[in-house]
Amino acid sequence: MLPQPARRLLAWCVFTLAVAGVAALGVWLCIVLKTAVTPVLLALLGTALLGPLHQRLTRIGVNRSLAAGITCLAVIGVVGGAMYVVVLALIETGDQIIASLKQAGADLAKHFGAAGTSLEDLAINAKDLLAKFGGTAASGVITGISVVGEMIATAILALLLIFFFLRDSDRAVGTLRSLAPGARADTLEAMARRAFQAVEGFMRGTTFIAAIDAVCITIGLLVLRVPGAVGLGALVFVGAYIPYLGAFISGAVAVLVAFADRGWVIGLWALGVVLAVQVLEGHVLQPMIQSRTVQMHPAVVMLAITAGASVAGILGMLLAVPLTAAAFGVFSELRSRYGAPRADHAAQPPAEGSTGG
């Protein structure tokens, strides 16, 4: 026989343990089946990003399969071209960027001691790692070939899944509703829609914001004649998909390169450009573009990124935030369905009492 508060605490403990157990089992299965899970997650993100193009093609009378094929070809063209530009810019300016970072580390070491030395060592190690990776891939060592082959296979499988997801998206609701009996089908459909809308909003908004950030910072660095401006802009674009942390790291690299190669004055101007772009993003772009998506506290985002990095490295960091946004979307839907009626019911007795009095 336990008092009511103790029973409630026990119930919450059991619920928390059950949720943690299911989450741990899900993470373990994703790790074990990562070869199959990774393309599916990437395909879902790609489908959320490319859905409007496919819908526009189908509205003008294009066959769904043909529209999905055209969308995938557009993806190959755009992503392939962007990757070519980014890789070419990093190859052409990579040595210059690393040399500038080393110089920045040496200069900072004169004023801050170990901090600058660590930065210089990091730049040297990064160059060595890139050289080893390039040498491994070029020499045809089995490890390098297997890594490249796995990446290519994952990309191809994700692209094929995007095609099928786009083509058969009209059947998704019916298939989903068949998994839940009776009235639960409506709840399951609403949860799935809210989760997908959250991922959709995150992908579209982040891509648009990343492009604006990269263009603005690249223009600013070109005006300041900072070496490797295009490569640094590419890093800003890629880093924007990791909220807060990615923007901080890419922006810091740009400022350090400007400081090392062009001096304190240009370095401060570069810092001003980066800060101005971040202020524009935080106070204008984010509220305008992502106002309809699930809003998450920065602490939640950082914890999600940390957990994703511990589970799957860089890929986990990229996938952590959209998956967390989907989870928040499901939670918001459940709260709106089952939390609001209770609040209204709890508000009724005082109103009746005041009326009767």
Which pLDDT does position 346 carry in this prediction? 46
pLDDT value at residue 17: 92
With CA atoms as reference, report the closest residue to 224 among 255, 248, 246, 247: 255
- Count the alpha carbons within 13 Å of 128 in the hemisphere toward its beta carbon: 7
Q: Decide if 301 contacts 244 (C-beta within 8 A).
A: yes
The token pair that represents 147 in the structure block:
């890594």
Angle between helices 114-139 and 142-167 (to 10 degrees): 90
**pLDDT, position 136:** 41
Tell me how far CA of residue 140 lies from CA of 87, 129, 155, 286, 310, in angstroms: 20, 17, 21, 45, 30
Place of tokens 């071209």: 81
Return the HEC string of 318-335. Answer: HHHHHHHHHHHHHHHHHH
Token representation of residue 130: 């890139």
pTM (predicted TM-score) = 0.68
pLDDT (0 to 100) of residue 290? 61
Residue with tokens 């059991």: 14
Nearest partner of 304 among 243, 247, 252, 248, judged by Cα: 243
pLDDT at 342: 47
| Dihedral pair phi/psi, residue 337, rounded to 5° | -85, -40
Q: Which candidate, 165, 167, 238, places its Cα nearest to that of 196?
A: 165
Identify whether the C-beta of residue 122 lies closer than 8 Å to the C-beta of residue 109.
no
Q: What is the DSSP secondary structure assignment for residue 295, as one 8-state letter?
A: P
What is the structure's pLDDT at 219?
92
Per-10-residue mean pLDDT for the chain, 357 residues long? Answer: 80 88 84 84 86 88 89 81 68 64 65 52 53 44 58 85 87 78 78 85 84 89 84 81 78 80 82 88 72 67 82 79 84 76 47 43
Q: Which residues of 226-244 are buried (b: 16+ CB within 10 A; e: fewer)?
A: bbbbbbbbbbbbbbbbbbe
